[in-house]
Structure formats: C-alpha cells, structure tokens
Structure 1
C-alpha cells in the first residue's frame, strides 16, 4: 500500500463532510410507518422494508423514513403518514408492499396524493377532560 498524500486526505475529508451534511439535512419528505403492535401484526414490517427499498432505489437524501406508534385507528393498519414540507400530512391506510411502492412513486417522489388509500384521522376526544374552575 502506497503512502497517503495530502490530496488523498483532502478528498477523504470533503467526501466525509458531504456525507455528514446529507445525513443532517432537513427532510423535504417524511414517511412514517406506524408500527404499534396492531400495525406490526397487520404487516407494518413488510411495509417498512418496502419503503426502505424504494428509498434506496431513489437515491434521494431529502426523504426521511421513521417508525412511530399506532395512530389509534387500528382497524386501518398498517398505516403510514407522508408529510411533504409545506403541506398537510396525509395518512394512508391498509398498506402492503405493493401499495406503498405506488404511494412512494406517486406521492413521495411526484407529489400526487393517492386519495383512494387515504384515511381521515379522527380528532382526539377532549370531552372526557375536566377543567378546573377558579
């Protein structure tokens, strides 16, 4: 093995700085796979694997994939949320590997919401909370 030159070290430094900046870049899109017990039993792992595979194929560094808890609408699992910067998040229901690939291609990469797979997320029920009177 030959000696490492100053130029070699400079290239290594620039490459490392570039890769580190990509990891800390603010995401343009967040894809959250809801992986509570109900989601996992409904197939959320398969969905997560497909999302990660599609992300790798895309070569994009401005898309972050996250795992999160259940949304509380277990009958629609597996659920994912796609949040594009500057837009309201969209929740997709009853996902599988094939559907998530469609969502990734059309919504995540091309900003086209697939309304046939979306679900309305119910507002939390605050009626059971009591307020203190002065």
Structure 2
C-alpha cells in the first residue's frame, strides 16, 4: 500500500464520518424485509447505490429497514428530506435510478409511484 492509496482510504473514511454526523441532505431507506427481498429489494438497493456513485452524490445516505406491512407494494423505498418523507412502492432497478435522477437530484417526486407523503418536523 502506497501513500496515495492511504490518502484515498482516509478521504473515504472522512466522507463516511461526515454522512454519519447528520450532514446528509437526503436519506434513502430501502425495505429489506423478507417480502422486499423476494420482490427484488437487493437489486433496487444496488441500483440506488450505483446511481448515487455514478453521479457523485456524497450528501445522500442510504440505509435499510425491515418489514413495513406493505408486502403487496414491495420493494418499498422512502426518501427523507427536510420536512417530509415520500414513500414509493414497487421500486424496481429502473425506477430506483429514476428516483435518484428526478427526486433526489431535481427535487421532483415521481407521483405515479408514491404510496404516501408524510410531513415531519425538524
């Protein structure tokens, strides 16, 4: 391992710590319970991560959760932004990439896939 590799590792670690510190602009939560996994949530998660990396979006954090009671709508993805949570259903790989491009980057929810929008306080 050379000095440049160590610098890259340090920068990646600093970025992860920054995101954990609560400075993320958007949080994406993917339902990875049994029904979500059976419906393709792994591929959905991978598509989201790939699209975020491709676009260099370091201010978005992605986490996983278990069952939400929405088995018929799996894979389910939540997008948490300041003041609201938008819940999407039946999110396949193509829709996952669109969510990053349209909702996360451009701030335009994809209405025909929204299950619920909840207002949240700070």
Corresponding residue to 2:60 among 59, 63, 67: 63
Alignment gaps of 5+ in structure 2: 118-122
| TM-score normalised by structure 2 residue count | 0.80
Number of aligned positions between the proteins: 112
CA RMSD in angstroms, aligned pairs only:
2.4
> What secondary structure is seen at the aligned counterpart in 1 of 2:75?
coil
TM-score, normalised relative to structure 1? 0.73
- Distance (Å, rounded) in 1 between the aligned partners of 2:93 and 2:13: 30
Q: Structure 1 CA distance, aligned partners of 2:65 and 2:101?
A: 22
- How far off its partner does 1:46 sit? 1.0
* CA distance, structure 1, for counterparts of residue 35 and residue 78 of structure 2: 16
Structure index of larger Rg = 1
In structure 1, the partner of 2:70 is 73
Q: Name segments (4+ residues, structure 1) moved above 6 Å.
A: none
Note the 1:88-99 alignment, pairs <5 A: 88-99=84-95
The aligned counterpart of 1:107 is 103
Of Structure 1 and Structure 2, the greater helix share is in: 2
1-structure distance, mates of 2:83, 2:107: 10
